[in-house]
Amino acid sequence: MSPASPTEPNPSGPSRSAASVRLPSPTVSLGRDYLARVERLVPRIRAARERREGAGRGGMAGGGQEFTGYRPYRPGESLRNIDWGLYARLDRPFVRLSRRESGERWAILLDTSASMGVGVPGKLQAAAEVAGALASLGLAHGAEVHLLANDASVFARRPTDLGRLIEVLGGLVARGGDGLGALAAEPARFRESGRVFALGDLLDLEPRELLGPVLGARRGRELVCVQLLAGVELRAVAVHRDAVPDDGVVWVDAESGERRAMELTRAARAGYEAALGRRLAAWGTACARHRATYGSFESTTPFEDVCNAVLGA
């Protein structure tokens, strides 16, 4: 496998699912501002984790490490990372770059099913931003990052591969009915990964369908589940700006195209929000039982906040 070997996304219709449902946000856009934000985020998270887990050993780094090079010191990083000998010679601070000798791998499972095109910004957009940030963080720690989407796959071994990875993220399109369930059903694709991130709406599968295959395939594997939902899914009242109680709404399943007309009464909205709450609670309970990290976020949540939350920074 090449250092960065993406599988190009299928160039089918960008805005409609197979059942011709018009999705509000089916694509991903990652601009220059995004990269700058990622660059600012990574050292902050590393520094925070080092403060929490002990100096000299990043929480996400394993035991033996091999030297891979230097890079300039960034404000906020631990002073312990500075190569003081090099500093004495050059009078400028540099940080030693190393990679775990054991070759730690991270897998990022990204749901690109059609339901991820719901919401403004879309859930896929939010998931892609989080995935890019996680990949950058992993590469900065010396890990190899394997991004697995439903119709794309890219393997990044070193920080210089991040650009290709983000390029693939930017080309993702929400479509089809295969989500995280399909990815989790092929644990062989990420069997070497000691840390797995599952990013999606987690609506098309039960907790056991993800937790079982991912955690059962490798002992000691760490799983982080990031659930991203659109505002219209979290709060049924936000259907449209001038919606009024009792207005008729036709809900369309983003993946199957199934339509269901109903009146958006107060009772219906309350029942919906209660049922959704039970589903989210079930995910939280199941993840806690399997010692997996779980977080549920609205697609409007900045990816920095998501990363900080799930990485405990």
Partner 1 sequence: MSAPLAELVWSRPVALGALALPLVLLLLARVRREPTVVATGTLAVWREVATPAAASARASRPRVPPATWFFLSALFLGALALAGPRVVAPLGPRTWTVVVDDAPGTELPVDPRDAASPTRREVALEAALAWLAERADENDRVRWLRGDGASLTLAARERPAPEWLAFARPRAAAASGGDVWTRLAAQDRAGSLAITDRAPAAEAPKLAGWFASGGAAVPGPIASGADGVLTWDGVDVHLDRSGDVGGPDARRVVLDERDGELPAQLGGLCEVWSGARGLVLVRGGSDQPAALVVRGAPSDGSPGRAARDGWSARVPGALAAAAPAGAGRVWLRAEPAGRPVVTWTPGLVTVGARALTFDAADPAQVAVSFAELFDAALLAPPGVVPLEARLAAGDPSFRPPRTPARVRSESSTLTEAPLDAWLAGAAAFLGLVGLALLRV
Binding of residue 123 to partner 1 (CB under 8 A): yes
Task: Quote the CA–CA distance of 8 and 19 in Å, as a whole number.
Answer: 23
Nearest distance in Å: CB 277, partner 1: 10
Binding of residue 14 to partner 1 (CB under 8 A): no
Nearest distance in Å: CB 184, partner 1: 17
Report the site for partner 1 in 100-119 (rule: CB under 8 A). 115-118
Buried/exposed 78-94: b ≥16 CB within 10 Å, e otherwise: beebebeeeeeeeeebb
Task: Quote the CA–CA distance of 108 and 138 in Å, as a whole number.
Answer: 10
Near partner 1 by CB under 8 A: residue from 161, 178, 201, 304: 201
Near partner 1 by CB under 8 A: residue from 259, 288, 300, 305: 259
Near partner 1 by CB under 8 A: residue from 18, 86, 276, 309: 276
- Residue 116 near residue 289, CB atoms below 8 Å: no
Write out the two tokens for 160.
């210089």
Query: For residues 70 and 251, which CB has a smaller minimum distance to partner 1 in the complex?
Result: 251
Query: For residues 88 and 244, which CB has a smaller minimum distance to partner 1 in the complex?
Result: 244
Binding of residue 309 to partner 1 (CB under 8 A): no
Binding of residue 247 to partner 1 (CB under 8 A): yes
Binding part of the chain for partner 1, among 47-55, 209-217, 271-279, 281-289 by CB under 8 A, reads: 271-279
Cα end-to-end span (Å), the chain: 33
Query: For residues 150 and 193, which CB has a smaller minimum distance to partner 1 in the complex?
Result: 150
Task: Quote the CA–CA distance of 230 and 297 in Å, as a whole number.
Answer: 9
Report the site for partner 1 in 225-244 (rule: CB under 8 A). 229-230, 232-233, 239-240, 243-244
Task: Quote the CA–CA distance of 24 and 66 in Å, as a whole number.
Answer: 46
Near partner 1 by CB under 8 A: residue from 258, 285, 288, 305: 258
Binding of residue 209 to partner 1 (CB under 8 A): no
**How many Cα neighbours within 13 Å face the side chain of 186?**
11
R_g over Cα of the chain: 21
Binding of residue 23 to partner 1 (CB under 8 A): yes
Binding of residue 246 to partner 1 (CB under 8 A): yes
Task: Quote the CA–CA distance of 171 and 179 in Å, as a whole number.
Answer: 17
Q: Amino acid letter at 143? A: A
Task: Quote the CA–CA distance of 145 and 308 in Å, as a whole number.
Answer: 19
Nearest distance in Å: CB 230, partner 1: 7
Binding of residue 121 to partner 1 (CB under 8 A): no
Task: Quote the CA–CA distance of 152 and 141 in Å, as a whole number.
Answer: 24
Query: For residues 104 and 201, which CB has a smaller minimum distance to partner 1 in the complex?
Result: 201
Binding of residue 306 to partner 1 (CB under 8 A): no
Nearest distance in Å: CB 123, partner 1: 8
Distances (CA, A) of 192 to 210, 218, 234, 289, 307: 17, 8, 35, 23, 23
Which residues form the interface with partner 1 (CB under 8 A)?
A: 21-24, 115-118, 123, 201, 203-204, 229-230, 232-233, 239-240, 243-256, 258-263, 265, 268, 271-272, 274-276, 279
